Amino acid sequence: MKISDRTLGYISLLALFSIFAIIAYCMWDAHHEATTIIQVDFDELGSLQPEDQVVIRGYTVGTIGKVQWLGDRARVEIKFNQPIVIREGTQFNNINYAIMGQRRLEIIPSKTGKVLPDDYIHQGHFEPGVAEVLRYIENVNEQVETVRQIIYLITNGDSTHRSASDLVEYVIKNVEVTLSNTERALQTLQPALNNLFAQADVASKNLHVITKQADSAIVTVTNTVNEKLELAENAMKRISEGAEKTNEIINSIEADPFYSKILYSSETVDKVNELVSKLNEIVRAIDTKGIKILDENGNPVKPFAWKNINLIGKTAREKARERAEKASLNKVQNDSAQSE
């Protein structure tokens, strides 16, 4: 079968278009798979615009996508040509790299820090370039022009403002007039002022004398009051010392078990009364004629009975008395402990 030239041409064109379509699809697919998009905010954008370069260490790694103005800042979309890892601490610098004001985004990646997600909003840094410097120069020229006009107004003045020299001359004249008026007023008031000063001098002298007298009177009164106060303090001191001694005596008496026994017990009083009655009986039993001691029946009584006398050691009565005193002392101590 013989193929005509026209058919062969159509087949060639179709094959060529197919090859181009396959290559374009492969390029689009590769580009679509490798694209990474992040967003960066800038306080000032300058002349940065979509399709400007994004570089890392001088190599192009992407382009600027759409730019969105948010009122106080601009949000820039960055499209990378290949997958890239953005870590915390990475810098995004909007720099001017050409003399005509062209700009690009330079990324300084960080090797440390945690990996940030693709939806994280980064903060960029704007570096002024030639266009910004020219704009600043224009602002400086405007400010210099304003200062020049102010200086010209101060020096020469205008229809509504006086010049600085006129104002200084006017002020000097007013000061001279004020000084002359003041000098005349002082000359007129000088006699009255001299009289006033003399009266003030006399009054100060009198006041000085009165002050001395008042000081001496105050010193005398103070000394007298101090003497009386000292006497009163001595008297109070003596009274206080007497009261303290009295309290000490009372406390010692109350603390001593012997005095306590005498004051609060009737046993001692009973023993004294018993002793007095026995002495009275002895006196009644004495025979004044023969100096004999008789009992209650009139029989003679021996002065000394050797039966219960213990010449060595304590007698039974003394031991009984000591036991009674020891028992009463223990009772007093127990009573005081219970009261405390």
Whether 85 is covered by a domain: the verdict is yes
Q: At what angle do helices 316-339 and 257-264 cross, to 10 degrees?
A: 90
Whether 112 is covered by a domain: the verdict is yes
DSSP secondary structure of 114-178: PBPPTT-EEE-EE---HHHHHHHHHHHHHHHHHHHHHHHHHHH--SSS--HHHHHHHHHHHHHHH
Whether 16 is covered by a domain: the verdict is no
Domain boundary among 105, 127, 149: 127
Whether 77 is covered by a domain: the verdict is yes
Residue 302 confidence (pLDDT) above 60: no
Q: What angle do CA 281, 285, 286 make, to 5 degrees?
A: 125
Whether 259 is covered by a domain: the verdict is no
Q: Is 97 helix (H, G, I), strand (E, B) or coil?
A: coil
Domain boundary among 91, 107, 127: 127
Residue 235 confidence (pLDDT) above 70: no
> pTM for the full model?
0.36
Inter-residue contact 77 to 39 (CB < 8 Å): yes
What would the two tokens of residue 105 be? 């985004």
Per-residue pLDDT averaged across 286-311, rounded? 52
Q: What angle do CA 158, 164, 170 make, to 5 degrees?
A: 105
Q: How confident is the model at residue 224 (pLDDT cuts 50, 70, 90)?
A: confident
Report the domain count for the chain: 2
Domain of 98, in residue numbers: 35-127
What would the two tokens of residue 327 be? 């028992």
What are 1-59's pLDDT values in tens digits?
Answer: 566 777 878 888 888 889 989 998 877 766 555 568 899 999 888 888 898 999 998 89
Whether 86 is covered by a domain: the verdict is yes
Q: How confident is the model at residue 91 (pLDDT cuts 50, 70, 90)?
A: very high
**159-163, 215-219, 263-267: least confident range:** 263-267
Domain boundary among 92, 127, 162: 127
Alpha-carbon 72 to chain mean position: 40
Whether 294 is covered by a domain: the verdict is yes
Instruction: Please tell me the distance from the alpha carbon of residue 112 to that of residue 110, in angstroms, as a whole number.
Output: 6
Whether 83 is covered by a domain: the verdict is yes
User: Which residue has better confidence, 183 or 316?
Assistant: 183
